[in-house]
Every structure is written in structure tokens, then in C-alpha cells.
Amino acid sequence: MKYHLRPTDELFIRVLTDRARNGIRAGLISGPPGVGKTALARYLASQLGAEVEYYLCHHWTSEEDLFVRVDPARVAALAGGVKGVDLHDAHRPGVLLRAVEHTLESPAVVIIDELDKAPERVDTLLLEFLQTGHVHGPFGETWVARADKLFVVITTNSQRPISEPLLRRVFRYEMPFLPAPVEADIIRKQTGAGAGVCRLIVQMMAAIRKDGDSSPSLQEGVRLSESLRLAQGVGEVELLLRGWLCKTDRDWAALVDLCGQPAAVLWGEWNRD
């Protein structure tokens, strides 16, 4: 799906690419899942002609995932004097080291996705890297990033607070959903569905975002619109709504509050268009 820039997205890009700033340029994008946080980071990389290094955080994320991991088998081979194995072979670079190596020749954008899933100690590791641009190896090695060529974009779904020192080091951007008319127009252009159907799908997504438990993404709205041509009645439209937009009973209740019989209303709009 082609990325649609918001005016606020454009400001985020201008801030991160401002040549007057010294050091590694870093931003933190927060917002509900599906709003386009990672897509904006990849768009930034495409505009810079930069290499992308992507890492999705987990609750087991460690220093080795970010910096450098030692390969025990190759270390043993090195210690045993096996020919053809040198110190460099003992390294398995993490996402930040890979990006540092890229900056020696070209710009690099590091995407640290869903930082809020990682342990809080990861915030401290990232802060130290953003301040120095250094990666230290297990055998005393040091790699230094070309700060003018390195950009770091961190995303969070706000499952836990991000540490205040890290927040002070990054440009913070709360990403909104696209305006409803823009979302409807994108769905129409992507799927060829009628304008009325697209507007109704967007209204349903907005109702769930407001009164339900979930935040349906634009991509889920597109998938729903694409799938409607497969439905053979109201019952199947309800299955599509529950399968694409609704993740909990409260999500479905939000649609009922919106239009009484959501599947019947959407099926009727589909047939009218």
C-alpha cells in the first residue's frame, strides 16, 4: 500500500533530516497499532536512499540482539587454532552494529519496532548508543557510527512507559489516524468499492476505535472491502466484520451502537453500490 503522508509526518521527517542538528538523529513514534508508524520509518529510509535495519522487540530482547553476539562454536575454533577462522568470524552483529557498518558507506535507518514490549533496561542501552554512536565488542573492539548518516526511529504502542532520559533524547511524535475522508478514499482506490461502502467501513472503524477495545487499521479496512465481494449474504458479512475489524465483543457492541444491525447495513450498502 502506498504511504500517505500527513502534514505532521512531513514535520517529523524535516526534524530528523535537519542538517543543522549534530549527532545521531532519533525519533520516537507512538500511537495505536496499524496507524502507520513503521511505514513512516520505511518511507523516511526510501526518501534518504538509506539502508534499513529492522528489529522487532520482544520481552526477551537483550544487549546481544542490539549490539553484537558471540558465536561460541567459532570462538572455540579460534581458540583451537582452526585455520581460516579469525576474530571477525566470532561476531554475529546485532541490529545497531549492522547499521553502524552501513554508515561507513551510505545512510542507514534503524527501526526499533514496539520498544514497549522490551524490558526497561533496553531503554538505557538505546540511550547510551544514541549519545555516543559506539558499539563495543566482547574482545575490546569498538565500532563508531558516522553520526551524520545514521537515523534511528523507535515505535511504541504505549504498553509501558518509555524511560524519561530516552524520551529527552528523541523527537517525540504522537501519530494520529488519517482523516476519515482520506481513509475512505484510499480504501476506494485500493479496492474499487463504492464510495458509500468505503465511507461506512471507515465509520465502523472509527466507532470501534472510540468505543471498542481495538484500533482497526486502514489495512484491515482495505481487507474487509476486498472480501465483501466473496460474501453471499448478511451472515457472511457479519463473519467478515468479526474477522477483519472486531477482535472482542465490545468491538462488536460499538458497531451495534453505531447502526443497529451492522452486517445488514453493510450488506445493503454493498448491494446498493
pTM of the shown model: 0.85
Number of H helices, E strands in the chain: 13, 9
Instruction: Name 96's Cβ contacts closer than 8 Å, sequence gap at least 6.
Output: 53, 66, 67, 110, 129, 135
Find cell 520516537 and name the residue: 28
pLDDT of residue 77: 47
User: Angle at Cα 123 formed by Cα 118 and Cα 127, nearest 5°?
Assistant: 150
pLDDT of residue 188: 97
How far is 193 from 269, CA to CA, in rounded Å?
A: 11
Residues of the chain above pLDDT 90, percent: 82
Question: The dihedral of CA 3, 8, 9, 14: what is its sign?
Answer: positive
Instruction: Name 271's Cβ contacts closer than 8 Å, sequence gap at least 6.
Output: none
pLDDT of residue 83: 53
Each residue of 3-24: b (16+ CB within 10 Å) or e?
A: eeebeebeebbeebeeeeeeeb
pLDDT of residue 87: 52
* Segments of the chain with pLDDT less than 50: 75-77, 85
pLDDT of residue 212: 97
pLDDT of residue 85: 47
Segment 219-243, tens digit of pLDDT:
999 999 999 999 999 999 999 999 9
| CATH class, 7-174 region | alpha beta
Segment 153-189, tens digit of pLDDT:
999 998 999 999 999 999 999 999 999 999 999 999 9
**Hey, how many other C-beta atoms are within 10 angstroms of the C-beta on 241?**
22
Domain edges within the chain: 7-174, 180-272
